[in-house]
Amino acid sequence: MRYTRVSVGGRAVWGRVGEEDVELLSESPLDATRRQRHGERGPTVVGTVPRAGATWLPVVVPPVFYAVGMNYPRHIEHARAEVPTRPEVGYRANNALTGHGSPIVKPAGVEGRFEAEPELVAVIGRTLRHATYKEAQEAVFGWTIGNDVSARTWQHQDRTFWRSKNSDTFKPMGPWIETDVDALAQTTTLRVNGEVRASFATGDMVFDPFDFIVEITRHSTLQPGDVLWMGAESTCQLEPGDTVDIEISGIGVLSNPVHSEGNPS
C-alpha cells in the first residue's frame, strides 16, 4: 500500500495512492493502524484527486526527525572517516521538509558545494521503548525517500548543522510511504537532469535501520510518525535550474527542481 499527504484547498489530507488517483482518507493511516490493532475501524475514503494534478506534501510531519550519517562504507572511505562501531543518530529540523515536486531553494548566501544525498527513510508506526531487533522490524510502518541537501561551506564554517542541513526546503521527502517492500533489497539511483550520477545497493549499510531503532529505544521513546533517514553512499552537486530525481526501486521516485533564492526559474 502507498500512503501520502496532499494539499486540498490549502489543507493537508492523507491519501492512498492508486494508479490514476489519490483516494483522500478520513484520518492518518498511522492512527488507524493503531486502532485497528485494537479491533477498531480503519480510515474511510472521503474523496479523490487526480494523481497527475496532486500537490504533494512531505509524507509525514515527524514528532522527531532522526538522521544517520556515515553509514555506507564507500561514503566513509571517500570522507576518510572512521567506520562507526555503534549506531548513533543525529537530528534534523521539520522546517527543512518539503514535498515531491516542490523546489529546493538555494539560499543567496550559499557558495561552493551544494549537494544532494539520496536516502532511504523509515517511517515509524508504533510507540516503542527498549525494543528487540524483531520489535524494531515490526515497528516500521513503511518506507519513503529523502534528499539530504547540504551547503558544505556552511557545514564547515558552523559548529553545528543548523543552517547547512536544516535551511528551508533542504529536506525533500516523498512521494509516498510504501508499506509492502523489502527496502534493504533495493537499488538507489540519483539522477540530475535525467543523467545518472550515482547508483548503489540500498541495503549496503554499516548498520541497518533496525539496529538504529534498537539503539534509539534504549534511551528515547519512538512515536508513530517519527522518521529515520539512513544516510547515503554518494553525493552530487546541484545548481539552480537542475531537476534532481532520487529513485529507490520498489518504492518510487522523489523529484524536485532546484531554484535560486528570489528567482523561481
* Residues 217-262 pLDDT 10s: 999 999 999 999 999 999 999 999 999 999 999 999 999 999 999 8
| Residue environment code for 163-183, b if the CB has 16+ CB neighbours within 10 A, otherwise e | bbbbbebbbbbbbbbbbebeb
> Which residue in 32, 36, 37, 12 sits closest to 24, CA to CA?
12
From residue 56, alpha-carbon distances to 110, 158, 210 in Å are 27, 32, 28
In the prediction, which pLDDT does 42 show?
A: 74
pLDDT tens by residue, 169-197:
999 999 999 999 999 999 999 999 999 99
In the prediction, which pLDDT does 75 show?
A: 87
In the prediction, which pLDDT does 88 show?
A: 94
Around Cβ 203, how many Cβ atoms within 10 Å?
Answer: 16
d(CA 33, CA 205): 29
Using DSSP's 3-state secondary structure scheme, residue 183 falls into: helix
In the prediction, which pLDDT does 43 show?
A: 87
114 within 8 A of 106, measured Cβ to Cβ: yes
What share of the chain in percent tops pLDDT 90? 89
Mean pLDDT of 153-157: 95
Which grid coordinates are listed for 45? 475514503
In the prediction, which pLDDT does 235 show?
A: 94
Q: Is pLDDT larger for residue 23 or for residue 39?
A: 23
Q: Is pLDDT larger for residue 50 or for residue 37?
A: 50
In the prediction, which pLDDT does 77 show?
A: 85
pLDDT tens by residue, 32-42:
666 555 566 77
In the prediction, which pLDDT does 144 show?
A: 99
Mean pLDDT of 131-143: 98
Q: Is pLDDT larger for residue 49 or for residue 37?
A: 49
Mean pLDDT of 16-31: 96
pLDDT tens by residue, 86-119:
999 999 999 999 999 999 999 999 999 999 999 9
Q: What is the mean pLDDT of the chain?
A: 95
Q: Helices in 5-145 by DSSP H: which ranges?
A: 29-36, 73-79, 133-139
* Contacts of the segment 44-53: beta carbons below 8 A, 24+ positions apart: 45/16, 47/8, 47/23, 48/21, 48/22, 48/23, 48/24, 49/6, 49/8, 49/15, 49/21, 49/22, 49/24, 50/20, 50/21, 50/22, 51/17, 51/18, 51/19, 51/20, 51/21, 51/22, 52/20
Query: What is the band of 263 on the pLDDT scale with cuts at 50, 70, 90?
Result: confident
In the prediction, which pLDDT does 40 show?
A: 67
d(CA 215, CA 64): 15
Residues 6+ apart with CB under 8 A from 219: none
145 within 8 A of 254, measured Cβ to Cβ: yes
Query: What is the band of 81 on the pLDDT scale with cuts at 50, 70, 90?
Result: confident
Mean pLDDT of 116-125: 98
